[in-house]
């Protein structure tokens, strides 16, 4: 297989059919730009959703008269729960110290610390919050009275309503963002494919002549595939350069002032560049090869 010949043919056709080639180049560039903006936004949104979900926990408030043995047994039980990732003990003093504003002086006004000690149980998965709560509760035989598995427990709080809202909203955000990302990729592929189809259609007579003289399908297809690689690489490279200029001149200078731009979950620009270049070249090359099939059918 003579790749030098196919490459020279691809360059020659690019020069001879500049209008369709420019249209394909612009299409690749625009779609790559859109993907280059959308991917970090999707990454930030899903990262923020995961960060909110990671803050969900179960608070187990202790009775003031609980003995050290009871508290230790309860800690052991929580740590042994397969749904629990970590357990943190919060003393009465720590709970009071965490208050802000007017509540800071509550102990002075009341003459004592009214806040209970507690355990904060972080779940392995936010969806496991209800299972952790259920493992700490028991119900009487008639199902009327709810009690706890340890006499050290005074109350269990998981902010059920807030938890369900957070899980629902963050799950919806992640689903919507990834759904839009998939839709955008498919739309980009179809748009690039249709543009390349027009370029191939403009040279359909050339394809017919090559078939008549006995050229194989892959012999006909390779120059178009290589042409698609050139167009995709050029469009992707220009788009990446534009994104780099935008990042250095606009995003980086304000990243310290706006937390959204400085989000730790944002994709690394080098990784983004690799993804965009592979996508631009891959879609263009595949579009050139696949859209040529209709002209190669017997």
67 and 41, same structural domain?
no
Distance CA 262, CA 59 (A): 31
107 and 21, same structural domain?
no
Give the pLDDT confidence score for residue 124 in this predicted structure. 87
Give the pLDDT confidence score for residue 199 in this predicted structure. 66
145 and 98, same structural domain?
yes
Selection from 196, 81, 205 nearest residue 133 by Cα: 81
Of residues 164 and 180, more confidently modeled: 180
Given 130, 157, 184, which residue is the final one in a domain? 157
Look at residue 61 and tell me if it is in a domain.
yes
The predicted model gives 127-155 an average pLDDT of 79
**Rounded mean pLDDT of the chain?**
76
24 and 147, same structural domain?
no
Range of the domain at 121: 57-157
Per the structure, the count of domains in the chain is 2
Of residues 288 and 29, more confidently modeled: 29
Give the pLDDT confidence score for residue 143 in this predicted structure. 56
- Give residues with Cβ within 8 angstroms of 43, minimum separation 6: 265, 266, 267
9 and 61, same structural domain?
no
Look at residue 188 and tell me if it is in a domain.
yes
State the helix-helix crossing angle for 3-16 and 217-246, rounded to 10 degrees: 70
- pLDDT, one tens digit per residue, over 209-268 is 777 787 777 777 777 777 778 888 888 899 999 999 988 887 777 666 655 555 555 678
114 and 95, same structural domain?
yes
Q: Are 259 and 40 in contact (CB under 8 A)?
A: no
DSSP 251: I
Look at residue 162 and tell me if it is in a domain.
no
Q: How far apart are the first and last CA of the chain?
A: 23
Look at residue 88 and tell me if it is in a domain.
yes
120 and 172, same structural domain?
no
292 and 173, same structural domain?
yes
Given 105, 138, 157, which residue is the final one in a domain? 157
Look at residue 278 and tell me if it is in a domain.
yes
Give the pLDDT confidence score for residue 238 in this predicted structure. 93
187 and 118, same structural domain?
no
106 and 12, same structural domain?
no
Give the pLDDT confidence score for residue 298 in this predicted structure. 47
Given 128, 157, 186, which residue is the final one in a domain? 157
- 112-117's contacts with Cβ under 8 Å and 24+ in sequence apart are 116/61, 116/62, 116/63, 116/64, 116/92, 116/154, 117/61, 117/62, 117/64, 117/71, 117/89, 117/90, 117/91, 117/92
Which of 31-40, 90-99, 257-266 has maximum average pLDDT?
31-40
Instruction: Report the sign of the C-alpha dihedral through residues 88, 93, 94, 99, in that order.
Output: positive
Look at residue 214 and tell me if it is in a domain.
yes
Residue 180 in this model has a pLDDT that exceeds 50: yes
Look at residue 72 and tell me if it is in a domain.
yes
Distance CA 193, CA 5 (A): 24
**pTM (two decimals):** 0.62
- pLDDT, one tens digit per residue, over 99-116 is 654 444 554 555 566 778
63 and 46, same structural domain?
no
Look at residue 75 and tell me if it is in a domain.
yes
Q: CATH number of the domain that 124 lies in?
A: 3.30.70.3040
- pLDDT, one tens digit per residue, over 39-91 is 887 777 777 777 777 777 888 899 888 888 999 999 999 999 988 988 999 88
215 and 178, same structural domain?
yes
Helix (H, G, I), strand (E, B) or coil at 120: strand
Give the pLDDT confidence score for residue 179 in this predicted structure. 79
Give the pLDDT confidence score for residue 119 in this predicted structure. 92
């Amino acid at each position: 297989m003579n790749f030098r010949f196919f490459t020279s043919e691809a360059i020659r056709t690019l020069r001879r059919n500049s209008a369709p080639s420019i249209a394909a180049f612009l299409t690749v560039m625009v779609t790559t730009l859109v993907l280059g903006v959308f991917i970090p936004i999707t990454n930030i949104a899903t990262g923020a959703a995961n960060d909110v979900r990671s803050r969900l926990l179960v608070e187990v408030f202790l009775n003031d008269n609980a003995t050290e043995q009871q508290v230790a047994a309860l800690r052991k039980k929580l740590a042994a729960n397969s749904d629990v990732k970590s357990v943190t003990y919060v003393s009465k003093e720590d709970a009071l110290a965490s208050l802000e504003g007017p509540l800071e002086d509550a102990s002075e006004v009341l003459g004592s610390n009214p806040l209970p000690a507690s355990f904060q149980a972080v779940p392995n998965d936010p969806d496991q919050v209800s299972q952790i709560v259920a493992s700490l509760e028991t119900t009487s035989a008639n199902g009327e009275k709810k009690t706890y598995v340890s006499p050290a427990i005074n109350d269990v709080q998981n902010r059920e309503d807030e938890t369900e809202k957070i899980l629902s909203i963050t799950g919806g955000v992640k689903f919507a963002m990834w759904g839009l990302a998939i839709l955008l990729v498919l739309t980009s592929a179809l748009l690039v494919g249709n543009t390349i189809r027009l370029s191939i259609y403009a040279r359909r007579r050339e394809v017919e002549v090559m078939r008549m003289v006995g050229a194989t399908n892959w012999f006909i297809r390779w120059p178009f595939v290589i042409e698609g690689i050139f167009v995709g690489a050029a469009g992707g490279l220009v788009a990446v350069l534009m994104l780099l200029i935008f990042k250095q001149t606009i995003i980086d200078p304000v990243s310290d002032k706006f937390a959204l731009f400085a989000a730790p979950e944002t994709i690394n620009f080098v990784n983004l560049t690799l993804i965009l270049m592979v996508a631009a070249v891959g879609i263009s090359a595949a579009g050139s090869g696949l859209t040529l099939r209709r002209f190669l059918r017997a």
